[in-house]
Structure 1
Amino acid sequence: MKEVELKSILQVYDSFDELPVDIQKLMQQSFEIRDKAYAPYSEFLVGAALLLENGEVILGNNQENACYPSGLCAERTAIYYAGANYPGIPIVTMALSAKSLKHQLVTPTPPCGACRQSIAEYEIKQNKPIAIYFMGETGKVVKSSSLANLLPLIFDNSYL
């Protein structure tokens, strides 16, 4: 047996104000779309703002359903919209924010597993990393320079 250690490198900003101005603008868009999410069951709102290589910004938020598996996360809402309407245009940066209506969320909230797999698909397809910034309602902001930091053992088409 051999033990293998995996390493992820993330950057942590102490607050929104430490972010570069262009990322602040993108994150602000994620706040605005987050507050329009449809989340009557979990009361957990998520917003995603994607910057495409052509300068377009795509927004998405979570959309819940009484039949939970039928809902869709903010990240996939935005990614699939980008894929459908801007095929072949790489995603450069994602800004993600989460907010609970039950308590103040100050912990940076990364994408769920299903969203990580979907982001991986697009990162592999475009053969370019996607910078991912994520945060709660306030507090620290985490940056991953690639989805590979958040999902180091990616399942991709090479296994098929």
Structure 2
Amino acid sequence: MSKTLQYINSKILTGYRKELVEKAKSAALKAYAPYSNFKVGAAVLMSDGQIYTASNQENAAFGESICAERVTLLYATANNPDVAPKAMAIAAFKNGNFTEQIISPCGACRQVLAETEKRYNSPIELILYSTNESVIISSAADLLPLSFSYGIMEQ
């Protein structure tokens, strides 16, 4: 099994991982998702111990909707710019239940996560929750190994 990707029974999560998942689940229930009814919540743990949560926010002009991961991460770093994010949990709620399938960040969220890791020179562990099992990814960069970066524009 890869050290960067672990599958674990969601019922045995402990410590900060369990706390982040519970906070992500609570955040999902607050999502504004009247069009898809697919509610996603995220919780990010900062290296100073603070936890920020948020949810997806849909808009009738669908392109203007924003995912829970970006809302949470950008809010956390805007309000705590000198502190690196350490870990993020993501949970989704649909049809009255949390999902049985693991959800993974979209491409835009992966790019923002990758940029944030580069900005702070620090990995962000991801905990992708489902009711059956969770996936723990040691660095968001593992989801987007060839991310676009500022260095490309300087060439």
Cα distance in 2 between the residues matched to 1:104 and 1:123: 28
Confirm or deny that 1:60 pairs with 2:54.
yes
Q: Which residue of 2 aligns with 1:4?
A: none
Count of residue pairs brought into register by the alignment: 152
Asked if 1 retains the 8 angstrom alpha-carbon contact of 2:3 and 2:138, the reply is no
Asked if 2 retains the 8 angstrom alpha-carbon contact of 1:8 and 1:150, the reply is no
Cα distance in 2 between the residues matched to 1:43 and 1:9: 32
User: Would the alpha carbon gap of residues 73 and 156 (structure 1) be closer, same or farther in structure 2, given more than 3 Å must change?
Assistant: same
Structure 1 stretches of 5 or more lacking a match? 1-6
Cα distance in 2 between the residues matched to 1:101 and 1:108: 15
Cα distance in 1 between the residues matched to 2:115 and 2:102: 23
Normalised to the residue count of structure 2, the TM-score between the two structures is: 0.92
Cα distance in 1 between the residues matched to 2:75 and 2:108: 16
* Structure 2 letter corresponding to 1:107: Q
User: Would the alpha carbon gap of residues 41 and 86 (structure 1) be closer, same or farther in structure 2, given more than 3 Å must change?
Assistant: same
Normalised to the residue count of structure 1, the TM-score between the two structures is: 0.89
Query: Match for 1:10 among 2, 5, 9?
Result: 5
After superposition, the C-alpha distances for 1:87-106 in whole angstroms (9 at most, x for unaligned) are: 12100000110122277621
Asked if 2 retains the 8 angstrom alpha-carbon contact of 1:43 and 1:102, the reply is no
Q: Which residue of 2 aligns with 1:99?
A: 93
Query: Match for 1:116 among 101, 110, 116?
Result: 110
Confirm or deny that 1:20 pairs with 2:10.
no
After superposition, the C-alpha distances for 1:101-134 in whole angstroms (9 at most, x for unaligned) are: 2776211101111000011110000001000001
Confirm or deny that 1:82 pairs with 2:76.
yes
Query: Match for 2:139 among 146, 152, 156?
Result: 146
User: Would the alpha carbon gap of residues 104 and 130 (structure 1) be closer, same or farther in structure 2, given more than 3 Å must change?
Assistant: closer
Cα distance in 1 between the residues matched to 2:35 and 2:119: 34
Cα distance in 2 between the residues matched to 1:135 and 1:158: 33
Structure 2 stretches of 5 or more lacking a match? none
Identity value in percent:
38
Divergent runs of 4+, >4 A: none
For residue 106 of structure 1, give the secondary structure of its aligned residue in structure 2.
Answer: coil
* Structure 1 letter corresponding to 2:149: D
Cα distance in 1 between the residues matched to 2:60 and 2:97: 22
